[in-house]
Copies of this chain bind each other. A is one copy, B any other.
Amino acid sequence: MNAVHNVMEAAVKDLLDKQWENLLISCHCETCRLDVYALSLNRLKPHYVRAQSGNMYAKANLMTTQARATILTAITESAKVVSAYPHH
């Protein structure tokens, strides 16, 4: 039953990797990074697909300028929350 996955995970990870160093956040440790990652995914509509089908199509949809702007907004907002309430 693990043959489905949320393609949003890879899209958020990709943008977070690229923007992590530039992100306004009080702490750049791995725990805070994972908190921003999880919080961003909770703010975005999930996009689960079966492993064998629709994967490429779904990924392409998440590479539009609009989709990337939406994801970046979620990351920025999540970084604010994690800065205000760090887990350590």
Copies of the protein in its oligomer: 2
Knowing A1-B13, A6-B6, say if A49 contacts B38 (CB, 8 Å). yes
A45 to B50, CA, bound (A): 18
Contact residues of A between 1 and 33, Cβ < 8 Å to B: 1, 3-4, 6, 13, 16-17, 31
What count of chain A residues pass the 8 Å CB interface test? Answer: 24
Whether B48 pairs with A41 at a CB distance below 8 angstroms is yes
On whether the beta carbons of B87 and A38 are closer than 8 Å, the reply is: no
Contact of A1 among B31, B37, B39 (CB under 8 A): B37
Tell me whether B4 and A46 are in contact (CB under 8 A). Answer: no
15 intermolecular pairs with C-beta atoms under 8 Å apart: A1-B16, A4-B34, A4-B38, A4-B41, A6-B41, A34-B50, A38-B48, A38-B50, A41-B46, A41-B48, A42-B45, A42-B47, A42-B48, A44-B46, A46-B46
